[in-house]
Amino acid sequence: MEPAGVPPPSCAPAWEAEEPPGSPTLPAECPRDGEPARKAREGAAAAERSRGLGPTGRAARGGEERGARAGRRPRVTVDSSKAKTSLEALKISLRQLRWREFPLGRRSPCDIYWHGVSFHDNYIFSGQVNKFPGMTEMVRKVTLSRAVRTMQDLFPVEYNFYPRSWILPEEFPLFVAEVRMMKESDPSWKPTFIVKPDGGCQGDGIYLIKDPSDVRPAGSLQSRPAVVQEYICKPLLVDKLKFDIRLYVLLKSLEPLEIYIAKDGLSRFCTEPYQEPTLKNLHQVFMHLTNYSLNIHSGNFIHSDNVNTGSKRTFSSILCRLSSRGADVKKVWSDIISLVIKTIIALTPELKVYYQSDIPAGKPGPTCFQILGFDILLMKNLKPMLLEVNANPSMRIEHEQELSPGVFENVPSPVDEEVKVAVIRDTLRLVDPQKKKRKDIQSQTSEHVSETKEDLLDAGPAGGLEHDTSRNTEAGLPSLCLKQVFPKYAKQFNYLRLVDRVAALFIRFLGVKGTTKLGPTGFRTFIRNCKLSNSNFSMASVDILYIDITRRWNSMGIDHKESGMCLQAFVEAFFCLAQKKYKSLPLHEQVASLIDFCEYHLAALGEKRPLCGRGTAERRSAVVTCPTDGLEVTAAHTPLLNCTAAAGKCADCRSHCYPGAVSPGAGRD
């Protein structure tokens, strides 16, 4: 599709419009003559002036001191010393919010720590940090592909938004065999594949191939694994150019799962007209790869001075063009929201393992949130496909421009500024610790305690309690650009969260705080407590299963720091056990049945033994709970529902020092 022409001044329903149940939809908003950009630029200018204590900065500080004397609430404090390239956008956001920035850090704790790279940028013991432990590892190309593959094994239709992928070098023979088989069954199939080195970014090391034999030598693959993926040959084109979408997603909390999506993102364009891949054009990166970092070096790159044109535009401007051509933009949004929620559901099990390892029960804070960059390609038929997830999406709001040959200068990029400042500012508004305190107080004193959670969620980010409580501080700020999609649409997606429940079992038996791998004793205890061994499956077979699977996963060279069984290996063992026990069912039903079976026996064991005290367990319970919504429980386990529900009420006991779990120190061998 190649729509042309000027977008209509306003398309799509209002942002606050309620979606029909069953079709999550974010409405598109057309940018109005760059007005948001102008406002953002004014904010930026104000921030610039106040930096170094210009007139605005002095006024603000004076106001703060007067406020403190008058007994007004203190301002939220943010440590920006590790913000790196997101610093400019962060500064503007903090200025707009009138929060207090500590650019060099602070001796006493801050409310929020803004890290440019990872959770570990700083040693933090309290407050909130804008990164989750393990996120960088989780979204690497190989790890993401594995996590999505597990979900594809369980729910192939739901997870068909990720191109068929193979992990090199270990799956090279499988890749060759599967391609040969597919070609034999359909001789007209002329595929193209894209090879992407693990841990690469900005198109680094990526190349296209027509045949598995074109994969470059295995010697380099050994040191740098890669993902080879089916190439999407028919992308949607605008102005004859291929483009992708960078969408910003806020993972506000892991447990309970809370996801927000920014209502606008960026579209990054190729700089050569697109042609379907042939042997002749395979190497033309400006035609096939949409990376900004590559295309900026093309003579055809156009810096956008407004949001509707150029090589980097807002996503909303694309949607407006599509809408003006009669495309179902609501459906596009709905599919994108599903893709985002499903991808995060694939990532959460392992993230929880990392989380309990870095912030074990009993260790003080911090809590985490994170902005993720989702790279999405729209196919010609408007189906969104996931390309990758970025743990550190660029938050730069300026770009390099070549003024004269060889002379470069950083100039402001209005498109980046408009989108990114809003995302950072509104993330901060959503995690505002003072708002949470006020909310807690309000919920204690509120007369409207009978108001259901559902009512609040339905009000969405633009309404509801979250925003009412801060009306004063937020006066003058635009409505939130981040829209909650989970738990808002939890009912539609909770049935997918099976691996989360398997991970909860895994974490329960890990035993020693700070570990991410299960030892053989832990695995045996799991089998014993869940009553999984019998005359057909002896403890000797259990040991063999453990050794076989663990050895294979460890030989893939994923993580040599610790010995033992990693979560993916445990998941594989769990699937094996499920297939053994419930032979005739589809895989996801086998797995669901085995989870129910295990939870039933663990809960029963819990009832027989004395429960442990609360206190220390509270933090852990925040990490591991087992969602059961939307899952069918077999008749044989119906009594479990009551006892799981009861156990759920004291989830802290169940998850932290569950009586059947390995006691600290006993899990390592």
Give the footprint of ligand ADP on this chain (CB under 6 A).
Answer: 163, 194, 196, 200-204, 206, 229, 231-232, 244, 289-291, 375, 377, 387-388
What is the closest distance, in whole angstroms, from the C-beta atom of residue 212 to ligand ADP in the complex? 16
Pairing, β 77-82 against β 100-102: parallel
Which C-beta is closer to ligand ADP: that of 227 or that of 499? 227
Which C-beta is closer to ligand ADP: that of 203 or that of 464? 203
- Between CA 451 and CA 465 the distance in angstroms is 11
What is the closest distance, in whole angstroms, from the C-beta atom of residue 449 to ligand ADP in the complex? 47
247 beta partners: 374
What is the closest distance, in whole angstroms, from the C-beta atom of residue 116 to ligand ADP in the complex? 18
Which C-beta is closer to ligand ADP: that of 253 or that of 281? 281
What is the closest distance, in whole angstroms, from the C-beta atom of residue 139 to ligand ADP in the complex? 10
Question: Residue 152: which of 229, 254, 204 has the closest Cα?
Answer: 229
Which C-beta is closer to ligand ADP: that of 145 or that of 628? 145
| 551-to-365, 542, 558, 569, 575 alpha-carbon distances in Å | 35, 14, 12, 9, 17
Sheet with 367-368, edge to edge strand ranges: 100-102, 77-82, 112-115, 128-129, 367-368
Which C-beta is closer to ligand ADP: that of 34 or that of 203? 203
- Between CA 600 and CA 642 the distance in angstroms is 10
Question: Quick check: 264 and 480 in contact, CB under 8 A?
Answer: no
- Between CA 361 and CA 128 the distance in angstroms is 17
What is the closest distance, in whole angstroms, from the C-beta atom of residue 233 to ligand ADP in the complex? 8
Which C-beta is closer to ligand ADP: that of 298 or that of 521? 298
Which C-beta is closer to ligand ADP: that of 275 or that of 492? 275
Which C-beta is closer to ligand ADP: that of 335 or that of 375? 375
What is the closest distance, in whole angstroms, from the C-beta atom of residue 392 to ligand ADP in the complex? 11
Question: Quick check: 196 and 140 in contact, CB under 8 A?
Answer: no
- Between CA 92 and CA 646 the distance in angstroms is 48
Strands (DSSP E) found in 348-463: 367-368, 370-378, 384-390, 398-404, 407-412
What is the closest distance, in whole angstroms, from the C-beta atom of residue 165 to ligand ADP in the complex? 8
| 574-to-100, 194, 515, 623 alpha-carbon distances in Å | 49, 32, 20, 21
What is the closest distance, in whole angstroms, from the C-beta atom of residue 244 to ligand ADP in the complex? 5
534 beta partners: 537
Which C-beta is closer to ligand ADP: that of 291 or that of 473? 291
Instruction: Find the farthest-apart pair of alpha carbons in the chain and give their distance in angstroms, rounded.
Output: 81
Question: Residue 438: which of 487, 472, 462 has the closest Cα?
Answer: 472
Which C-beta is closer to ligand ADP: that of 236 or that of 591? 236
- 3-state per-residue secondary structure call for 573-631: HHHHHHHHHCCCCCHHHHHHHHHHHHHHHHHHHHHHCCCCCCCCHHHHHCCCCCCCCCC
- Between CA 342 and CA 487 the distance in angstroms is 13
Polymer length in residues for the chain:
669
What is the closest distance, in whole angstroms, from the C-beta atom of residue 176 to ligand ADP in the complex? 19
Give the CA angle between residues 533, 539, 545 to the nearest 5°.
95
Which C-beta is closer to ligand ADP: that of 197 or that of 460? 197
- Between CA 329 and CA 86 the distance in angstroms is 31
What is the closest distance, in whole angstroms, from the C-beta atom of residue 660 to ligand ADP in the complex? 43
Pairing, β 77-82 against β 207-209: unpaired
Question: Residue 40: which of 308, 421, 412, 317 has the closest Cα?
Answer: 421
What is the closest distance, in whole angstroms, from the C-beta atom of residue 65 to ligand ADP in the complex? 46
What is the closest distance, in whole angstroms, from the C-beta atom of residue 267 to ligand ADP in the complex? 11
75 beta partners: none
**Residue matched to tokens 């807690």:** 440
Which C-beta is closer to ligand ADP: that of 300 or that of 642? 300
Which C-beta is closer to ligand ADP: that of 243 or that of 506? 243
What is the closest distance, in whole angstroms, from the C-beta atom of residue 388 to ligand ADP in the complex? 4
